[in-house]
Protein backbone atom coordinates (compact mmCIF):
# COMPACT_ATOMS: atom_id res chain seq x y z
CA UNK A 1 0.00 0.00 0.00
CA UNK A 2 2.77 2.59 0.75
CA UNK A 3 4.17 1.92 -2.73
CA UNK A 4 0.77 2.62 -4.29
CA UNK A 5 0.38 5.80 -2.20
CA UNK A 6 3.77 6.97 -3.43
CA UNK A 7 2.66 6.42 -7.01
CA UNK A 8 -0.52 8.49 -6.47
CA UNK A 9 1.50 11.18 -4.69
CA UNK A 10 3.68 11.48 -7.79
CA UNK A 11 0.58 11.83 -9.95
CA UNK A 12 -0.71 14.58 -7.68
CA UNK A 13 2.62 16.35 -7.94
CA UNK A 14 2.26 16.11 -11.71
CA UNK A 15 -1.18 17.73 -11.38
CA UNK A 16 0.43 20.69 -9.60
CA UNK A 17 2.62 21.33 -12.60
CA UNK A 18 -0.32 21.03 -15.00
CA UNK A 19 -2.35 23.58 -13.00
CA UNK A 20 0.37 26.14 -13.56
CA UNK A 21 0.31 25.44 -17.31
CA UNK A 22 -3.48 25.73 -17.43
CA UNK A 23 -3.59 29.01 -15.49
CA UNK A 24 -0.41 30.94 -16.35
CA UNK A 25 0.12 34.49 -15.08
CA UNK A 26 1.12 36.23 -18.29
CA UNK A 27 3.24 39.22 -17.42
CA UNK A 28 4.15 40.28 -20.96
CA UNK A 29 6.68 42.88 -19.82
CA UNK A 30 8.61 40.36 -17.72
CA UNK A 31 8.35 37.70 -20.43
CA UNK A 32 10.29 39.98 -22.81
CA UNK A 33 13.30 40.16 -20.49
CA UNK A 34 16.36 37.97 -20.90
CA UNK A 35 16.50 34.85 -18.77
CA UNK A 36 18.99 36.23 -16.25
CA UNK A 37 16.74 39.21 -15.45
CA UNK A 38 13.76 36.86 -15.09
CA UNK A 39 15.78 34.65 -12.77
CA UNK A 40 16.59 37.59 -10.48
CA UNK A 41 12.86 38.31 -10.17
CA UNK A 42 11.94 34.68 -9.48
CA UNK A 43 14.79 33.86 -7.09
CA UNK A 44 13.95 36.97 -5.01
CA UNK A 45 10.31 35.88 -4.77
CA UNK A 46 11.51 32.41 -3.78
CA UNK A 47 13.78 33.94 -1.12
CA UNK A 48 10.78 35.80 0.32
CA UNK A 49 8.63 32.70 0.66
CA UNK A 50 11.51 30.46 1.81
CA UNK A 51 12.86 32.90 4.42
CA UNK A 52 11.28 31.42 7.55
CA UNK A 53 10.38 27.93 6.40
CA UNK A 54 9.11 25.78 3.57
CA UNK A 55 6.70 27.51 1.15
CA UNK A 56 3.06 26.46 1.17
CA UNK A 57 1.38 24.60 -1.68
CA UNK A 58 -0.43 27.82 -2.68
CA UNK A 59 2.81 29.78 -2.78
CA UNK A 60 4.52 27.15 -4.91
CA UNK A 61 1.58 27.06 -7.32
CA UNK A 62 1.59 30.86 -7.67
CA UNK A 63 5.29 30.97 -8.51
CA UNK A 64 4.85 28.10 -10.96
CA UNK A 65 1.99 29.99 -12.67
CA UNK A 66 4.20 33.04 -12.95
CA UNK A 67 7.00 30.91 -14.41
CA UNK A 68 4.60 29.41 -16.97
CA UNK A 69 3.37 32.87 -17.98
CA UNK A 70 6.87 34.23 -18.69
CA UNK A 71 8.31 31.03 -20.19
CA UNK A 72 10.98 30.68 -17.53
CA UNK A 73 13.72 28.29 -18.61
CA UNK A 74 14.73 26.73 -15.28
CA UNK A 75 12.64 24.51 -13.02
CA UNK A 76 10.99 25.71 -9.82
CA UNK A 77 13.47 23.67 -7.78
CA UNK A 78 16.34 25.49 -9.49
CA UNK A 79 14.99 28.91 -8.53
CA UNK A 80 14.50 27.71 -4.97
CA UNK A 81 18.12 26.55 -4.90
CA UNK A 82 19.21 29.96 -6.24
CA UNK A 83 17.23 31.54 -3.40
CA UNK A 84 19.03 29.38 -0.85
CA UNK A 85 22.37 30.47 -2.33
CA UNK A 86 21.36 34.15 -2.40
CA UNK A 87 24.08 36.64 -1.41
CA UNK A 88 24.53 40.42 -1.31
CA UNK A 89 25.88 40.49 -4.87
CA UNK A 90 22.64 38.91 -6.09
CA UNK A 91 20.61 41.50 -4.16
CA UNK A 92 22.65 44.35 -5.64
CA UNK A 93 22.09 42.99 -9.14
CA UNK A 94 18.34 42.63 -8.49
CA UNK A 95 18.10 46.24 -7.27
CA UNK A 96 20.18 47.50 -10.22
CA UNK A 97 18.02 45.59 -12.71
CA UNK A 98 14.63 46.67 -11.35
CA UNK A 99 14.96 50.00 -9.55
CA UNK A 100 14.32 52.03 -12.73
CA UNK A 101 11.93 49.48 -14.22
CA UNK A 102 8.10 49.42 -14.00
CA UNK A 103 8.44 45.71 -13.20
CA UNK A 104 9.36 46.61 -9.61
CA UNK A 105 5.69 47.43 -9.02
CA UNK A 106 4.63 44.01 -10.33
CA UNK A 107 7.25 42.41 -8.09
CA UNK A 108 5.73 44.21 -5.11
CA UNK A 109 2.23 42.94 -5.98
CA UNK A 110 3.45 39.38 -6.54
CA UNK A 111 5.31 39.45 -3.24
CA UNK A 112 2.32 40.76 -1.28
CA UNK A 113 0.05 38.11 -2.84
CA UNK A 114 2.53 35.35 -1.94
CA UNK A 115 2.89 36.52 1.66
CA UNK A 116 -0.87 37.00 2.09
CA UNK A 117 -1.36 33.22 2.06
CA UNK A 118 1.44 32.57 4.57
CA UNK A 119 1.20 32.10 8.31
CA UNK A 120 3.55 33.82 10.76
CA UNK A 121 5.07 35.90 7.97
CA UNK A 122 6.18 38.90 10.05
CA UNK A 123 9.87 38.54 9.17
CA UNK A 124 8.98 37.93 5.52
CA UNK A 125 7.06 41.22 5.44
CA UNK A 126 10.02 42.97 7.05
CA UNK A 127 12.26 41.67 4.27
CA UNK A 128 9.74 42.82 1.67
CA UNK A 129 9.59 46.29 3.26
CA UNK A 130 13.38 46.55 2.99
CA UNK A 131 13.29 45.48 -0.67
CA UNK A 132 10.49 47.97 -1.42
CA UNK A 133 12.55 50.77 0.10
CA UNK A 134 15.66 49.83 -1.92
CA UNK A 135 13.59 49.64 -5.11
CA UNK A 136 12.43 53.21 -4.57
CA UNK A 137 8.72 52.46 -4.23
CA UNK A 138 7.25 55.32 -2.22
CA UNK A 139 4.53 55.19 0.43
CA UNK A 140 1.79 56.47 -1.91
CA UNK A 141 2.60 53.82 -4.50
CA UNK A 142 2.81 51.09 -1.87
CA UNK A 143 -0.66 51.90 -0.52
CA UNK A 144 -2.15 51.44 -3.99
CA UNK A 145 -0.16 48.27 -4.77
CA UNK A 146 -1.13 46.69 -1.44
CA UNK A 147 -4.82 47.54 -1.96
CA UNK A 148 -4.71 46.16 -5.50
CA UNK A 149 -3.01 42.97 -4.27
CA UNK A 150 -5.78 42.52 -1.69
CA UNK A 151 -8.42 42.84 -4.41
CA UNK A 152 -6.58 40.27 -6.52
CA UNK A 153 -6.34 37.80 -3.64
CA UNK A 154 -10.04 38.27 -2.81
CA UNK A 155 -11.03 38.31 -6.52
CA UNK A 156 -13.23 41.34 -5.80
CA UNK A 157 -14.28 44.03 -8.30
CA UNK A 158 -15.49 46.16 -5.40
CA UNK A 159 -12.12 46.05 -3.65
CA UNK A 160 -10.32 46.86 -6.90
CA UNK A 161 -12.56 49.90 -7.40
CA UNK A 162 -11.60 50.98 -3.87
CA UNK A 163 -7.93 50.44 -4.72
CA UNK A 164 -8.24 52.68 -7.79
CA UNK A 165 -9.15 55.57 -5.51
CA UNK A 166 -5.59 55.33 -4.14
CA UNK A 167 -3.98 55.28 -7.60
CA UNK A 168 -1.17 57.88 -7.70
CA UNK A 169 -0.33 59.82 -10.86
CA UNK A 170 3.01 58.03 -11.07
CA UNK A 171 1.23 54.69 -11.66
CA UNK A 172 -1.53 55.85 -14.01
CA UNK A 173 -0.19 53.76 -16.88
CA UNK A 174 0.54 50.63 -14.82
CA UNK A 175 -1.68 47.90 -16.29
CA UNK A 176 -2.87 45.20 -13.90
CA UNK A 177 -4.95 43.48 -16.57
CA UNK A 178 -3.14 40.14 -16.32
CA UNK A 179 -4.02 39.98 -12.61
CA UNK A 180 -7.69 40.95 -12.81
CA UNK A 181 -8.98 39.71 -16.17
CA UNK A 182 -10.54 36.68 -14.50
CA UNK A 183 -12.83 38.59 -12.14
CA UNK A 184 -13.01 42.34 -12.72
CA UNK A 185 -15.85 44.15 -14.49
CA UNK A 186 -15.37 47.86 -15.12
CA UNK A 187 -12.67 50.38 -16.05
CA UNK A 188 -9.35 48.60 -15.79
CA UNK A 189 -7.54 51.77 -16.86
CA UNK A 190 -9.15 55.22 -16.80
CA UNK A 191 -6.67 57.96 -17.72
CA UNK A 192 -6.23 60.65 -20.36
CA UNK A 193 -3.86 58.33 -22.21
CA UNK A 194 -5.96 55.19 -22.07
CA UNK A 195 -9.38 53.85 -21.12
CA UNK A 196 -9.87 50.10 -20.94
CA UNK A 197 -13.29 48.67 -20.09
CA UNK A 198 -13.51 44.94 -19.52
CA UNK A 199 -15.63 42.15 -18.09
CA UNK A 200 -14.55 38.51 -17.65
CA UNK A 201 -18.04 37.19 -18.43
CA UNK A 202 -19.62 39.75 -20.78
CA UNK A 203 -21.13 41.65 -17.87
CA UNK A 204 -23.33 44.68 -18.55
CA UNK A 205 -21.53 48.04 -18.58
CA UNK A 206 -23.06 51.45 -19.34
CA UNK A 207 -21.10 53.29 -22.01
CA UNK A 208 -20.61 57.07 -22.06
CA UNK A 209 -18.45 59.12 -24.47
CA UNK A 210 -14.67 58.88 -24.80
CA UNK A 211 -11.73 61.02 -25.87
CA UNK A 212 -8.67 59.26 -24.41
CA UNK A 213 -5.78 58.61 -26.79
CA UNK A 214 -6.52 54.88 -26.75
CA UNK A 215 -9.89 53.35 -25.87
CA UNK A 216 -10.37 49.59 -25.49
CA UNK A 217 -13.83 48.13 -24.84
CA UNK A 218 -13.55 44.40 -24.40
CA UNK A 219 -15.78 41.42 -23.56
CA UNK A 220 -18.74 43.44 -22.29
CA UNK A 221 -22.47 43.48 -23.00
CA UNK A 222 -24.47 46.65 -23.48
CA UNK A 223 -27.68 48.15 -24.77
CA UNK A 224 -26.89 51.72 -25.78
CA UNK A 225 -28.95 54.27 -23.85
CA UNK A 226 -27.77 57.14 -26.10
CA UNK A 227 -25.34 57.70 -28.96
CA UNK A 228 -21.82 56.78 -27.82
CA UNK A 229 -19.27 59.24 -29.19
CA UNK A 230 -15.51 58.77 -29.61
CA UNK A 231 -13.78 62.09 -30.29
CA UNK A 232 -10.16 62.67 -31.30
CA UNK A 233 -8.80 59.30 -30.16
CA UNK A 234 -5.68 57.88 -31.75
CA UNK A 235 -7.12 54.35 -31.56
CA UNK A 236 -10.40 52.71 -30.59
CA UNK A 237 -10.68 48.92 -30.19
CA UNK A 238 -14.04 47.23 -29.57
CA UNK A 239 -13.43 43.51 -29.11
CA UNK A 240 -15.46 40.41 -28.19
CA UNK A 241 -18.50 42.40 -27.07
CA UNK A 242 -22.23 41.84 -27.32
CA UNK A 243 -24.46 44.82 -28.18
CA UNK A 244 -28.18 44.50 -28.77
CA UNK A 245 -31.62 46.15 -29.03
CA UNK A 246 -30.67 49.76 -29.64
CA UNK A 247 -32.09 52.77 -31.46
CA UNK A 248 -28.76 54.54 -30.85
CA UNK A 249 -25.35 54.13 -32.48
CA UNK A 250 -21.60 54.64 -32.12
CA UNK A 251 -20.08 57.81 -33.61
CA UNK A 252 -16.36 57.84 -34.41
CA UNK A 253 -15.16 61.41 -35.02
CA UNK A 254 -11.59 62.38 -35.87
CA UNK A 255 -10.10 58.95 -35.01
CA UNK A 256 -6.77 57.53 -36.17
CA UNK A 257 -7.83 53.88 -36.27
CA UNK A 258 -11.04 52.03 -35.36
CA UNK A 259 -11.13 48.24 -34.92
CA UNK A 260 -14.35 46.32 -34.27
CA UNK A 261 -13.65 42.60 -33.99
CA UNK A 262 -15.28 39.37 -32.80
CA UNK A 263 -18.46 41.11 -31.63
CA UNK A 264 -22.13 40.09 -31.79
CA UNK A 265 -24.36 43.03 -32.67
CA UNK A 266 -28.10 42.64 -33.11
CA UNK A 267 -31.28 44.67 -33.55
CA UNK A 268 -29.72 48.12 -34.07
CA UNK A 269 -32.37 50.21 -35.83
CA UNK A 270 -30.45 53.45 -36.49
CA UNK A 271 -27.20 52.01 -37.86
CA UNK A 272 -24.43 50.46 -35.79
CA UNK A 273 -21.93 53.28 -36.37
CA UNK A 274 -21.02 56.41 -38.31
CA UNK A 275 -17.43 57.34 -39.19
CA UNK A 276 -16.35 60.95 -39.70
CA UNK A 277 -12.70 61.82 -40.30
CA UNK A 278 -11.43 58.32 -39.49
CA UNK A 279 -8.10 57.31 -41.09
CA UNK A 280 -8.27 53.52 -40.82
CA UNK A 281 -11.17 51.09 -40.24
CA UNK A 282 -11.05 47.36 -39.49
CA UNK A 283 -14.31 45.39 -39.18
CA UNK A 284 -13.26 41.79 -38.59
CA UNK A 285 -14.99 38.58 -37.48
CA UNK A 286 -18.27 40.10 -36.29
CA UNK A 287 -21.84 38.89 -36.50
CA UNK A 288 -24.54 41.45 -37.32
CA UNK A 289 -28.16 40.35 -37.00
CA UNK A 290 -31.17 42.45 -38.04
CA UNK A 291 -29.22 45.71 -38.04
CA UNK A 292 -30.01 48.62 -40.32
CA UNK A 293 -31.67 51.99 -40.64
CA UNK A 294 -34.80 53.56 -42.12
CA UNK A 295 -35.14 57.04 -43.62
CA UNK A 296 -37.68 59.23 -45.38
CA UNK A 297 -35.31 60.62 -48.03
CA UNK A 298 -32.43 58.93 -49.88
CA UNK A 299 -31.09 56.42 -47.37
CA UNK A 300 -27.70 54.70 -47.61
CA UNK A 301 -25.45 52.73 -45.27
CA UNK A 302 -27.69 50.44 -43.27
CA UNK A 303 -25.07 49.14 -40.82
CA UNK A 304 -22.17 51.59 -41.29
CA UNK A 305 -21.93 55.07 -42.81
CA UNK A 306 -18.71 56.92 -43.67
CA UNK A 307 -19.39 60.63 -44.12
CA UNK A 308 -17.37 62.90 -46.35
CA UNK A 309 -14.35 64.38 -44.58
CA UNK A 310 -11.10 63.60 -46.33
CA UNK A 311 -9.99 60.25 -47.71
CA UNK A 312 -9.58 57.04 -45.68
CA UNK A 313 -6.20 55.31 -45.70
CA UNK A 314 -7.51 51.76 -45.52
CA UNK A 315 -10.71 49.84 -44.77
CA UNK A 316 -10.68 46.10 -44.02
CA UNK A 317 -14.02 44.25 -44.00
CA UNK A 318 -13.29 40.58 -43.40
CA UNK A 319 -14.79 37.39 -41.97
CA UNK A 320 -18.05 39.08 -40.95
CA UNK A 321 -21.53 37.57 -41.06
CA UNK A 322 -24.55 39.75 -41.86
CA UNK A 323 -27.89 38.09 -41.24
CA UNK A 324 -31.13 39.84 -42.25
CA UNK A 325 -29.58 43.32 -42.20
CA UNK A 326 -31.24 46.10 -44.17
CA UNK A 327 -31.47 49.67 -45.38
CA UNK A 328 -34.94 51.09 -45.92
CA UNK A 329 -37.13 54.03 -46.92
CA UNK A 330 -40.45 54.56 -45.24
CA UNK A 331 -42.20 54.79 -48.65
CA UNK A 332 -41.37 53.82 -52.21
CA UNK A 333 -40.60 56.50 -54.83
CA UNK A 334 -38.93 55.46 -58.05
CA UNK A 335 -36.33 58.26 -57.96
CA UNK A 336 -35.31 57.84 -54.30
CA UNK A 337 -32.98 55.13 -53.15
CA UNK A 338 -32.28 52.85 -50.19
CA UNK A 339 -29.08 50.86 -50.70
CA UNK A 340 -25.57 49.96 -49.42
CA UNK A 341 -26.73 47.59 -46.69
CA UNK A 342 -23.36 46.99 -45.02
CA UNK A 343 -21.37 50.18 -45.60
CA UNK A 344 -21.68 53.44 -47.51
CA UNK A 345 -18.77 55.74 -48.38
CA UNK A 346 -19.03 59.44 -49.09
CA UNK A 347 -15.25 59.54 -49.36
CA UNK A 348 -12.40 57.89 -51.25
CA UNK A 349 -10.58 54.87 -49.74
CA UNK A 350 -6.93 54.34 -50.64
CA UNK A 351 -7.07 50.58 -49.97
CA UNK A 352 -10.28 48.57 -49.57
CA UNK A 353 -10.30 44.88 -48.54
CA UNK A 354 -13.52 42.84 -48.62
CA UNK A 355 -12.67 39.21 -47.86
CA UNK A 356 -14.43 36.16 -46.42
CA UNK A 357 -17.75 37.79 -45.50
CA UNK A 358 -21.15 36.08 -45.51
CA UNK A 359 -24.07 38.30 -46.54
CA UNK A 360 -27.34 36.47 -45.90
CA UNK A 361 -30.91 37.73 -46.26
CA UNK A 362 -30.07 41.41 -46.70
CA UNK A 363 -32.73 43.81 -47.97
CA UNK A 364 -32.90 47.21 -49.66
CA UNK A 365 -36.47 48.06 -48.80
CA UNK A 366 -38.36 50.51 -51.03
CA UNK A 367 -35.28 51.20 -53.11
CA UNK A 368 -35.99 53.23 -56.24
CA UNK A 369 -34.80 52.53 -59.75
CA UNK A 370 -31.75 54.84 -59.85
CA UNK A 371 -29.47 52.66 -57.70
CA UNK A 372 -28.86 48.92 -57.44
CA UNK A 373 -29.50 46.81 -54.38
CA UNK A 374 -25.96 46.29 -53.01
CA UNK A 375 -24.10 45.73 -49.74
CA UNK A 376 -21.28 48.27 -50.18
CA UNK A 377 -21.42 51.45 -52.21
CA UNK A 378 -20.52 55.09 -52.53
CA UNK A 379 -22.18 58.44 -53.23
CA UNK A 380 -23.65 58.89 -56.69
CA UNK A 381 -21.81 55.91 -58.18
CA UNK A 382 -18.34 57.43 -57.82
CA UNK A 383 -15.25 55.21 -57.48
CA UNK A 384 -14.72 54.08 -53.86
CA UNK A 385 -11.15 52.96 -54.41
CA UNK A 386 -8.73 52.01 -57.18
CA UNK A 387 -7.11 49.43 -54.88
CA UNK A 388 -9.77 46.84 -54.00
CA UNK A 389 -9.27 43.25 -52.87
CA UNK A 390 -12.57 41.38 -53.03
CA UNK A 391 -12.61 37.59 -52.65
CA UNK A 392 -14.22 34.60 -50.89
CA UNK A 393 -17.44 36.45 -50.05
CA UNK A 394 -20.85 34.75 -50.09
CA UNK A 395 -24.23 36.35 -50.83
CA UNK A 396 -27.55 34.61 -50.26
CA UNK A 397 -31.00 36.09 -50.57
CA UNK A 398 -32.58 38.80 -52.73
CA UNK A 399 -29.47 41.00 -52.74
CA UNK A 400 -26.56 39.34 -54.53
CA UNK A 401 -24.31 42.26 -55.46
CA UNK A 402 -21.57 43.08 -52.93
CA UNK A 403 -19.91 46.18 -54.33
CA UNK A 404 -21.22 49.02 -56.52
In tens, the pLDDT along 41-80 reads 999 999 999 998 899 989 999 999 999 999 999 999 999 9
Q: Compute CA 218 distance to the chain's CA centroid, rounded to the nearest angstrom.
A: 5
Residue 198 inside a domain? The answer is: yes
pLDDT band at residue 309 using 50, 70 and 90 as cut-offs: confident
d(CA 16, CA 63): 11
Residue 194: its H or E element: strand 194-198
Residues 6+ apart with CB under 8 A from 224: 207, 243, 246, 248, 249, 250
Neighbours of 85 (CB within 10 A): 10
Torsion angle defined by CA atoms of residues 231, 267, 237 and 180, in that order, rounded to the nearest 10 degrees: 120
Same structural domain, 310 and 244: yes
Neighbours of 215 (CB within 10 A): 21
Residue 88 inside a domain? The answer is: yes
Q: With b meaning 16 or more CB within 10 Å and e meaning fewer, what string describes 239-265?
A: bbbbbbebebbbbbbebbbbbbbebbb
pLDDT band at residue 299 using 50, 70 and 90 as cut-offs: confident
Quick check: 223 pLDDT over 70?
yes
pLDDT band at residue 15 using 50, 70 and 90 as cut-offs: low
CB 275 within 8 A of CB 314: no
pLDDT of the residue at 16 = 64
Domain count within the chain: 2
Across 4-16, average pLDDT: 69
d(CA 171, CA 139): 13
**DSSP 8-state code for residue 210:** B
CB 261 within 8 A of CB 235: no
pLDDT of the residue at 293 = 95
Q: 98, 119, 137 — which closes off a domain?
A: 137
Q: What is the CA radius of gyration of the chain?
A: 27
Q: Compute CA 84 distance to the chain's CA centroid, rounded to the nearest angstrom.
A: 39
Residue 162 inside a domain? The answer is: no
Quick check: 28 pLDDT over 60?
yes
d(CA 344, CA 303): 9
pLDDT of the residue at 17 = 63
d(CA 308, CA 277): 8
Same structural domain, 133 and 189: no
Across 153-157, average pLDDT: 95
Q: 79, 114, 137 — which closes off a domain?
A: 137
Same structural domain, 253 and 327: yes
Q: 316, 324, 315: which is closest to 346 by C-alpha?
A: 315
Q: Are strands 312-318 and 349-355 parallel, antiparallel or unpaired?
A: parallel
Please state, rounded to an integer, the average pLDDT across all residues of the chain. 91
Give 180-220 pLDDT, tens digit per residue: 999 999 998 888 889 999 999 999 999 999 999 999 999 99
pLDDT of the residue at 120 = 85
Count of H helices and E strands in the chain?
A: 11, 28
Residue 179 inside a domain? The answer is: no
Residue 346 sits at the vertex; the CA angle it makes with 342 and 349, to the nearest 5 degrees, is 80
pLDDT of the residue at 44 = 96
pLDDT of the residue at 14 = 67
Same structural domain, 126 and 196: no
Residue 151 inside a domain? The answer is: no
Residue 169 inside a domain? The answer is: no
Start-end of H helices in 23-116:
28-31, 35-50, 57-69, 76-84, 88-98, 103-116
d(CA 168, CA 140): 7
The better pLDDT of the pair 97, 385 is held by: 97
86 class by beta-carbon count within 10 Å (0-12 exposed, 13-18 middle, 19+ buried): middle
Q: Among 7-16, 71-80, 365-374, where is mean pLDDT lowest?
A: 7-16
Alpha-carbon distance values, 182 to 112, 152, 171, 217, 262 (Å):
19, 10, 22, 16, 19
Q: Among 231-235, 262-266, 347-351, where is mean pLDDT lowest?
A: 347-351
Residue 159 inside a domain? The answer is: no
Same structural domain, 248 and 366: yes
Residue 153: its H or E element: helix 139-154
Same structural domain, 341 and 234: yes
pLDDT of the residue at 393 = 96
Same structural domain, 129 and 189: no
Same structural domain, 6 and 125: yes
pLDDT of the residue at 21 = 73
Neighbours of 57 (CB within 10 A): 9
Same structural domain, 117 and 247: no
Alpha-carbon distance values, 288 to 3, 219, 272, 292 (Å):
60, 16, 9, 10
Give 71-120 pLDDT, tens digit per residue: 999 999 999 999 999 999 999 999 999 999 999 999 999 999 999 988 88
Q: Are strands 374-378 and 401-403 parallel, antiparallel or unpaired?
A: parallel
pTM of the model: 0.83
Q: List residues bridging with 295 in a β-sheet.
A: 329
pLDDT of the residue at 23 = 78
Q: List residues bridging with 305 in a β-sheet.
A: 274, 344
Look up the domain containing 44 and give its range: 2-137
Same structural domain, 84 and 214: no
d(CA 328, CA 86): 73
Q: Among 123-132, 172-181, 341-350, 369-378, where is mean pLDDT lowest?
A: 369-378
pLDDT of the residue at 130 = 96
Residue 177 inside a domain? The answer is: no
Same structural domain, 212 and 320: yes
Same structural domain, 353 and 267: yes
Q: 189, 192, 272: which is closest to 228 by C-alpha?
A: 272
Amino acid sequence: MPEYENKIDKIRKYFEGKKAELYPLKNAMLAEKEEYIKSLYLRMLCALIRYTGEPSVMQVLYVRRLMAGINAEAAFEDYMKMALDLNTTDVDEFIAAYKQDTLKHYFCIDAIILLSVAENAEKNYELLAELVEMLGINREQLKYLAAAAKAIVMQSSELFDEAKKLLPDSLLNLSLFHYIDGFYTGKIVDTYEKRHLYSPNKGMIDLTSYNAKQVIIENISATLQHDVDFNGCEEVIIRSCKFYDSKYKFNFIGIGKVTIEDCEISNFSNRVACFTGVNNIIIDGNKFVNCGCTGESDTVGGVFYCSEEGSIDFVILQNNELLNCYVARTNYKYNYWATDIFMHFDNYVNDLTIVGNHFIGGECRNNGTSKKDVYIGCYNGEIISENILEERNICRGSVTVILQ
